[in-house]
Structure 1
Amino acid sequence: MLVKDIMKTDVITLTANATVEEALHLLQKNHIRHIPIINESNHVIGIISDRDVRDASPSFLEEHNNRGILTRTIKEIMSTPVVTTHPYEFFEEVASIFYQKEFACLPVVRDKQLVGIVTEKDMLYAFIQLTGTHSPSTQLEIKVPDQIGVLSDVCQYFTKRNIKIVSVYSYPDPKDVVYKILVFRIQTMNPMPVVKDFQNTDYQILYPYWEDNHEF
């Protein structure tokens, strides 16, 4: 999945000469948390967050005495330089940036032009789409050796049962580096037959848990 598939293209922006009051109004009116700051060429030169504006705005008790604070320009409080991404960047690469930099959003730039914005909420939605949790399905977690051919072998068990795989991903076993966990979402409301099939293999079903009395 690419950034262009999840980004918002209707981006609300401001120029560096806009005031804190203007930014506050836009944030509240549009229920957003970030505003890219652009110049006359539509290049991103900064970004502000609702926290930046909140910190720069007077409290209710101070409002009458510090009204002048709201007339400060955005360039005085915006963050710069700005880390951006590209429409054809992979979702996984951007997720890594969000995690490592602790960002809440990234402007999307192509040929130096602002073309969109991607937020934490967009990333979470993309994760839901990639994992198939938005569709009716059942999740299976299977512990397998981390070696070539394992995924192909495991998938054969679903094929034999005529079960459609909605999504699959893997992560390292936190307790043993020679194993990994395969996470499947399969299109069946009764996973018990295929789970039972795996009981006769060297693969370990971690979820759903299957006991000897054949109950989850």
Structure 2
Amino acid sequence: MHVEEIMKQDVVTLKPGATIANALELLEQHRIRHITIVDDANQVIGIVSDRDVRDASPSTFIKDADNSELQNEIQTIMSHPVITIHPMDFVEEVASIFYEKEIACLPVVRNNRLVGAVTEKDMLYTLIQLTGTHVQSSLIEVKVPDRPGILPEVTAIFGKRKTNIASVLVYPYKNDLTYKVLVFRIQTMNPMPIIQDLRNAGYELLWPNNRIGLT
């Protein structure tokens, strides 16, 4: 999946000469957490979060606070340079940027111009879709040897039952590099026939545990 499939194209922006008060108004009006700062050519030059704006604003607990700070230009508090991504970047790779850089919003740029934005909330929702947890399904975890061809061998068992697979995840088994764990979400409310088929084929199930459902 590419970034262009999940990015928001209607991005709220400000010019660097706008005031902190302008940013505060937009954050409240659109109920967003980030504003991208662009120049006259729509090139990204900075980004401002709601926390940046709050930190630069006078405290609401101080009576007769000096609000003149709200007239400072937004470029005085924006973060720059800005990490950006491209519409054709893969979502899975972008997820690692959010994690490694500990950021919450990434502007999307094509030909040096802003075309969209992706937030951590967008990313979380997308990962939920990719893993199939947003649909009614049953979860099966299978421990398998880490060797070529193992995935089609296991999925063939699902195919014999004509069971629709909503998603498949593959991850290492603890610290043992000789095994993998295949995580299937299948669209059936009665997974027991598949579970029994997997057991009959000699596969070890991590979920449901091999002891569950045995008679």
TM over 0.5: yes
Q: Give the equivalent residue in structure 2 for 1:151.
A: 151
In the other structure, the counterpart of 1:106 is 106
In the TM superposition, residue 36 of structure 1 has moved relative to its aligned partner by 0.4
Aligned to 1:17: 17
- State the alpha-carbon separation in 2 of the partners of residues 152 and 61 from structure 1: 63
CA deviation vs aligned residue, 1:46-90 (integer Å, no higher than 9, x gap): 000011001111111336232111111101000000000000000
Whether 2:37 is the aligned partner of 1:37: answer: yes
Alpha-carbon separation, structure 2, partners of 1:174 and 1:126: 26
Looking at structure 1, the residues matched to 180 and 85 of structure 2 have their Cα atoms a distance apart, in angstroms, of 31
2:48 pairs with 1:66? no
CA distance in 1: counterparts of 2:75 and 2:53, whole angstroms: 12
Opposite residue 183 of structure 2, the aligned amino acid is: V
For 1:43 and 1:32, locate their aligned partners in 2 and report how far apart those are by CA, in whole Å. Answer: 21
**Match in the other structure for 1:127:** 127
Counterpart-to-counterpart distance in 2, 1:214 and 1:208: 10
| Per-residue deviation, 1:213 | 5.3
CA shift for structure 1 position 160: 1.2
8 Å contact 2:204–2:210 — kept in the other structure?
no
Structure 2 gaps, min length 5: none
Partner deviation per Cα, 1:180-203 (whole Å, 9 max, x = no partner): 111111111111111111222342
Query: Where do 5+ consecutive residues of structure 1 fail to align?
Result: none
- The residue aligned with 2:54 is 54
Task: Among all aligned residue pairs of Structure 1 and Structure 2, give the percentage whose two residues are the same amino acid.
Answer: 55
Cα contact 2:59–2:65 (8 A) shared by 1: no
**TM-score normalized with structure 2 length:** 0.95
Aligned counterparts of 1:31 and 1:25: Cα–Cα separation in 2: 10
* Partner residue in 1 for 2:163: 163
Cα distance in 1, alignment partners of residues 213 and 139 from structure 2: 21
Q: Which residue identity is paired with 1:214?
A: L
Deviates more, 1:65-74 or 1:44-53: 65-74
Distance 2:155 2:65 in 1: 68
Number of residue equivalences = 215
Task: State the match for 2:183 in structure 1.
Answer: 183
